[in-house]
Amino acid sequence: MKKSHLNIISLMLLQLCLIPLLFSCGGDASSNNAKIWRPPSEKLCQQILSNSLSVNDVDLSNQQEVDIQQMLEMVSPAHGYQLFLKDKKDFMAWITEQKQTVEVAIHETNHQIDALAPTCSESQYARYFLNGQFHITSIFGSETENYSIIEQILPEYLKARSVYKIYIAQNQTNSSKNFTILLDELTAYVGDSQFQIDFLNSGLISDQENYFVMGNIDIDEVVDMMLYLEYYLKVVRLDYSASYTAINEPATVKVIQYLWQQAEETLHKAYPYIVELDDELKTHNSGSPFFTGFGDYLPTLEILKAVYSDDALFELDQLGIAHETLNDWQDTYLTYDQQ
């Protein structure tokens, strides 16, 4: 095991003690740090929409910014680095003002960019930045229902999740939390998980003088968002035809397909690290929350099985979304089923 992995696992042991105080292990902090929305400036819009930014387009005012820029360029050139270049001010604020880790800055800046990009664009359709480009739908948020409507149809046992309580149960009266925001959450969790995996692969030490990477992979939240996407499609297909019609258009389906493919690829890449964490935590009479859950919360493994149930996959099939099946996980995550 690399020294950097040992450092990360020690920190994750501490983090597991803090889970009851958090709703996400290194993911979405925006609900606790709400900002007043202001229209982006013309300069910021140009940066957000640009496909050719380089370090020459940003002002690196101190060594901390230089260190983060160099690390991101090496570890995550197509995603984390591009988010940093597009909105360095917002990115750095999460680290210097909110005292968050790099992966949280990536996650939250992804939200910021996704929120501002339609305002900067002529079409103003919802779009999602991932891996170097925007993936553009043909929908506006106002065309779709609040994503908390999945509460009406989600099996009761699948609600025993901290992510459900924060994203679904607590947002039932927030009309802005529509389908476009659900896709945004999936995008941000996939993006920061990919960064975490790439950082672990880099061999860099997580605890640097000028930045910190927790290193836990937000793959649990990726799986939750995959499930919520499926059940949102189900409930709107059955009961909210206007929303379903708006979603079932080629451009939007293409985006859903891309995000789903990226989520599955990230799941595969995360597996060795989830197992590594589980093995280490078992020496402390514990185990990875992915396989064992935490307190009264359902293990993520059960959510993964629900994602690949016939009932859930039927909704992807209705839109022609290509996907893997439960059998594709038999040699990885499902080897831990009922251990």
* DSSP string of 119-134, one letter each residue: HHSSS---EEEETTEE
- pLDDT value at position 1? 34
Say yes or no to pLDDT of 4 above 70.
no
Q: What pLDDT band is residue 24 in, cutting at 50, 70 and 90?
A: very low
What number is the average pLDDT over the span 288-304?
87
Place of tokens 């209705």: 318
User: pLDDT digit string (tens) for 108-157?
Assistant: 999 999 999 999 999 899 999 999 999 999 999 889 999 999 999 999 99
- pLDDT value at position 295? 74
What number is the average pLDDT over the span 38-50?
91
* pTM as predicted: 0.89
- pLDDT value at position 287? 64
Question: Which secondary-structure segment (H or E) carries 336?
Answer: none
Domain that holds residue 256: 3-336
User: pLDDT digit string (tens) for 60-100?
Assistant: 999 999 999 999 999 999 999 999 999 999 999 999 999 99
Place of tokens 């020690």: 10
User: pLDDT digit string (tens) for 159-176?
Assistant: 999 999 999 998 877 778
| C-alpha dist (Å) from residue 152 to 167, 222, 312, 326, 336 | 14, 21, 15, 25, 30
Q: Phi first, then psi: give them for residue 186, nearest 5 degrees.
A: -60, -45
Residue in 49, 211, 200, 219 with CA at minimum distance from that of residue 119:
49
- pLDDT value at position 29? 59
Three-class secondary structure of residue 301 per DSSP: helix
Question: What whole-number percentage of the chain has pLDDT above 90?
Answer: 73
Q: What pLDDT band is residue 214 in, cutting at 50, 70 and 90?
A: confident
- The tally of domains found in the chain comes to 1
The neighbour count for residue 67, using CB atoms within 10 Å, is 15
